[in-house]
Amino acid sequence: MLFRNPEIKNELIIESVIVALFSALCFCLNIIAGVAALVMGVAVIIVHIAFHKKRYRKLAVLCDDIDRVLGGDDSVSFSSCDEGEISILKSEIHKMTKRIREQNTALKAEREYLKDVLADISHQLKTPLTSMSLILTVLRTKELSDRDRITNLRKLSDILSRTEWLIETLLKMSSFDAGAVELHKEDIPCRSLISTAVSSLDIMAEIRGVEIKTETEADKIFCDKNWTVEALRNIIKNCIEHTENSGTIEIKAKESPVAVTINISDNGSGISDKDLPHIFERFYKADNVLHQGYGIGLAFSRQIITAQGGIIKAKGVEPHGSQFTLIFYKTTV
């Protein structure tokens, strides 16, 4: 293997020629000098060959270690405190393998996360699909009265609407996860932002008998209008769903030299101490829910707010109710 290397072969040829010429010159002067020159030249070549063999042995060990790493052996270490080209190479390979191991760990975590998400999505879709299948079975019954048929059609329409919202939200969240969403932040009038979010929920609030009050002291918010409206809408929708009839939701916006803060509070069922640490987790459902939700609205809102450099917090309000705080930092202080 050593003599297959063209660089080493060329070195040995050059060294042999030099030794031969130098020895011949010495032989012309003196036989003893010629023999001495020849012996020393051969000794130098032998030492050179031994040095290269040692390097090749180190490289062979290094190649074996790399093969072990590629085979999944995490016990291999390339760290070295020695000097020299091989040690420098080992140090660079050590950095590379460390990065590969970190990437493998992240990839395994991502796979587990994806597996859990797919399982949750499958579970979330299974329930409405089963309900729709049962309703369709009932609708096929010939003896069904017109009144019951209309009632079942309304249930089917409601389930379809909620399933459509679920799928659309999941697709949007996936876009954020994949980094495919481009946020276009600009100064948006705070009053317009809040009214846009509230207006889309007026009918829902009216049906549930919930009053929405707004109070805006802030001028503008530096954010992406469409996505921020989506986040606000999900939070307000959550408050409506957790507030009983004749309840109230208050939305207050305040401004400081550093940020704009929006507080959304309700007098509904509130948030327990057990649920509070998990309230923004994807697919998490509190025990005291008043409706059959999916547990992704608040998670998506947090994803939108944090993607813009903002902060979202939640807390329970005594004696009952909850409050969500959204903080949007300004571009300049």
Distance CA 113, CA 117 (A): 6
Tens-place pLDDT, residues 107-165: 887 787 777 777 777 777 787 888 888 888 888 888 888 888 888 898 888 888 888 88
Q: Give the distance, in angstroms, between the CA of residue 139 and the centroid of all CA atoms in the same chain.
A: 44
What per-residue confidence (pLDDT) applies to 103? 80
State the DSSP string of 70-107.
HTT-TT--------SHHHHHHHHHHHHHHHHHHHHHHH
- Segment 224-252 mean pLDDT: 90
Distance CA 286, CA 275 (A): 6
Tens-place pLDDT, residues 240-268: 888 888 889 999 999 998 999 999 999 88
Structure tokens at 70: 């590629």
Place of tokens 């207050």: 252
Tens-place pLDDT, residues 281-319: 887 777 655 555 677 889 899 999 999 999 999 998 877
Beta strands in the chain (DSSP E): 186-189, 211-216, 220-223, 248-255, 259-266, 311-316, 322-329
Distance CA 167, CA 170 (A): 5
What per-residue confidence (pLDDT) applies to 252? 94
Of residues 25, 23, 27, the one with CA closest to residue 40:
23
What per-residue confidence (pLDDT) applies to 80? 60
Residue 269's SS3 state is coil
Tens-place pLDDT, residues 57-86: 777 777 777 777 777 766 666 666 555 666
Report the amino acid identity of residue 232.
Answer: L
Cα atoms in the 13 Å half-sphere on the side-chain side of 20:
6
Distance CA 47, CA 310 (A): 67
